[in-house]
Amino acid sequence: MISEATVYVVDDDPAARDSVSALVTSAGLRVQSFSSAEAFLQNSRPDKASCLVTDLRMIGMSGLDLLEQLQKSNSPLPVILISAYADVPVAVRAMEAGAVTLLEKPCRHDQLITAIHKALEKDISDREIRTRKTELKRRLATLTPEEYEVMQRMVAGKLNKVVANELLISLRTVETRRHKVLEKMQADSLAELVRIVVEADA
């Protein structure tokens, strides 16, 4: 839920930091502010939906450096950069590092809130996808090596008798393992099994 999400604001300018924080609060969102990128990185963040709004130019680590640091650490946190000094090379770097958007100062209030909502929706969606993939991988891990071999051939569209010949097992054994695969993967059909396997590997 977006209403339960947290917006992190990082800016070394107290007035700008307070202004953005007040705007976020007025939009009915939770906010937590930091005076530097270093302070933000030292903070332990709860595993809940969130996004980051940071100024590009700051004393010490810049907003772009912070973004790239998060990218290197495989952090999924969506980032919005704000700057009065952005040029094309900086914008390109920001997009390549995964920024949701780069807004020019002074940005309109509705423009920033729209960007924040977009970032939070992205984070919520990404979290749901990660949770789903974790569950599908858990199901895959319950398969025995023999069942996994049969599953690979099932999703490749091979007939039971072909699978039996390839694995040098009886047709009855293939049917039994096929049933166990569908049961463990919680798939009602071969088509659903294929979708699950593709989704787990995506």
- Strands of the sheet containing 101-104, edge to edge, are 30-34, 6-10, 50-55, 79-83, 101-104
- Spatial neighbors of 79 by CB under 8 A, at least 6 apart, are 51, 52, 53, 54, 66, 67, 70, 98, 99, 100, 119
- Per-residue pLDDT tens digits for 70-128: 999 988 899 999 988 777 788 888 888 889 999 988 888 999 999 999 999 999 999 99
Residue pair 103/80 in contact (Cβ under 8 Å)? The answer is yes
Residue 90: per-residue pLDDT: 82
Relative to beta strand 6-10, strand 30-34 is parallel
Q: What is the mean pLDDT of the chain?
A: 92
Residue 169, phi then psi, degrees to nearest 5: -130, 170
- Spatial neighbors of 35 by CB under 8 A, at least 6 apart, are 10, 11, 12, 14, 17
Residue 4: per-residue pLDDT: 83
- What domains are defined for the chain? 2-129 (3.40.50.2300), 142-201 (1.10.10.10)
Residue 126: per-residue pLDDT: 92
In one-letter notation, the amino acid at residue 41 is: L
Relative to beta strand 50-55, strand 6-10 is parallel
Asked if pLDDT for residue 3 goes beyond 90, the answer is: no
- Using CA atoms, how far apart are residues 187 and 64, in angstroms rounded to an integer? 44
- Spatial neighbors of 76 by CB under 8 A, at least 6 apart, are 123, 126, 127, 130
The long-range contacts involving 144-150, CB below 8 angstroms and separated by at least 24 positions, are 146/177, 147/177, 147/180, 147/181, 147/184, 150/174, 150/177, 150/178, 150/181
Residue % of the chain over a pLDDT of 70: 100
- Using CA atoms, how far apart are residues 116 and 102, in angstroms rounded to an integer? 12
Residue 45: per-residue pLDDT: 77
Residue 194: per-residue pLDDT: 96
Q: Which of 21-35, 81-95, 125-139, 181-195 has the lowest mean pLDDT?
A: 81-95
**pTM of structure:** 0.80
Asked if pLDDT for residue 136 goes beyond 90, the answer is: yes
